[in-house]
A and B are shown apart, each in its own frame.
Chain A
Amino acid sequence: MTYSLNFALLLLAAASVAGFFGALLGVGGGIFIVPAMVLLFHLPMKIAVAASIVSVIATSNAGGSSYVDQRITNLRLAMFLELFTTTGALVGAILAIYLHDWVISFIFAVMLGYMAYASFSTRNLDDERIAKGLFAKARPDKISRYLALQGSYHDLAADKEVDYVVCGAKAGMSVASLAGLASGLLGVGGGVLKVSGMNKYMNVPMKVAVGTSKLMIGVTAAVSSILFFIAGLIHFMVVAPVAVGTTIGASIGTLVMNRLHSTVLKWIFSALMAYLAYEMLAQALAKGFGIHLPSAA
């Protein structure tokens, strides 16, 4: 492949758009940039996954630090769950190195399909829970109590200090391991899994879950990056435009708006993810079994 001005600038532009969309949706850029690299630039799946995971570290650093700075991140919770996300990432990255490209594409397609469904089916009930003070009322389990995982943060929207008790540590451990596995195998941050897991099972307010997840993503992605680096899968020519592009895109996206509110936009993103899921599936079937679905890519 020739490293032309076109290739680098187009990749940078695609990564910027992916990072921007990711930030708007609150999912990070990986979910869009991997399909873009594979479908538009025809890069091998493994090289796309490895480049994406390095750019995921960059966006995690950027997003993670601002939440830490605002004292929203629960550092103890992050350190505890990281133990499981990093272990999951180690296993995921080993799988990514040894599995066939089409198998990874297939799993990626399944994940995209799930995300397309989940992005509009999940509802944020936090405002109600904060108003009723429900976050302070849960009963902590043994592990959460022993590790003093509870915390508090200042909620700007509700304009008050929100105290929360953490419970369901075991469920959190399972979700974190799964998110780590997905991250290492597919080159994504896995934030959506962790955020909804912490919010649903561990009684962690949404904003805290987002900040805590962002911080964990960095070290989780670093673990799989180490293996990809040693294996020679992190192709420098690809990584640089992707990392710079996603960082720029994600920064602008975060500036524009912190969370997506418009239902119309949510539907558009869902449709886009469903489309990408279909194209990735078509590619996996073509490469794995020689079955050709009608496809634009």
Chain B
Amino acid sequence: MSEEQNVYAGVYRMLVAGMIVSNILFGIGLILALRRPQYFPLSARWVRAQYHPSIVWHGLLHGEPNSFFLIGTLLLILTPIARVIVSIYAFWVDRDHKYVVVTGAVFIVIVVTIILGLLGIR
């Protein structure tokens, strides 16, 4: 496989996989949610209360739609980020150092975003 194709193939596989898996999780969650219609508040506090790993794990085991939605959302957000990481690696393998730097900088923006989010947003 040529150098350029190496990057293309990796990127392509990442995107398709992420999209399929997250949509399946959303689909399962929707079916579960529709079997038992329930009240939910439209508040950020309620959403954030779902973030605890034990709640998510318990929810996955007991068919709580929220847990499936949460994992699906996280996966969807992570797919393009994983694509960036795969690209850094592929450019590195292809010895394209300029682009390891460019793509690495994009990754740094992502890391800065996470840090800012965790530090500053309530």
In angstroms, how far is the closest chain A Cβ from the Cβ of B113?
5
- Complex CA gap A222/B81 in Å reads 7
Interface residues in B31-63 (C-beta closer than 8 Å to A): 33-34, 37-48, 50
Interface size of A by CB at 8 A reads 60
Nearest chain A residue, comparing its CB with the CB of B10: A68
User: Per-residue 0/1 for B68-98: is the Cβ within 8 Å of any A Cβ (1 yes, 0 no)?
Assistant: 0110111011111101100100000000001
A69 at the interface (CB under 8 A from B): yes
Instruction: Please judge, given known A-B contacts A1-B39, A3-B33, whether A62 and B26 are in contact too, CB under 8 Å.
Output: no
Q: Which residues of B contact A226 (CB under 8 A)?
A: 77, 110, 113-114, 117
Nearest chain A residue, comparing its CB with the CB of B43: A232
- Complex CA gap A2/B70 in Å reads 19
Nearest chain A residue, comparing its CB with the CB of B87: A79
A119 at the interface (CB under 8 A from B): no
Q: By the criterion CB–CB under 8 Å, are A234 and B47 in contact?
A: yes
Binding site for B on A (CB under 8 A): 1-5, 8-9, 12, 43-44, 47, 54, 57-58, 60-62, 64-65, 68-69, 71, 75-76, 79-80, 82-83, 86-87, 90, 94, 97, 146-148, 215, 218-219, 221-223, 225-227, 229-237, 239-241, 243-244, 247
Beyond A47-B42, A229-B117, 18 additional contacts (C-beta under 8 Å) are A9-B34, A54-B76, A62-B15, A69-B8, A69-B12, A75-B7, A75-B87, A83-B106, A148-B98, A218-B83, A222-B78, A225-B77, A233-B47, A236-B29, A236-B50, A237-B65, A240-B33, A243-B26
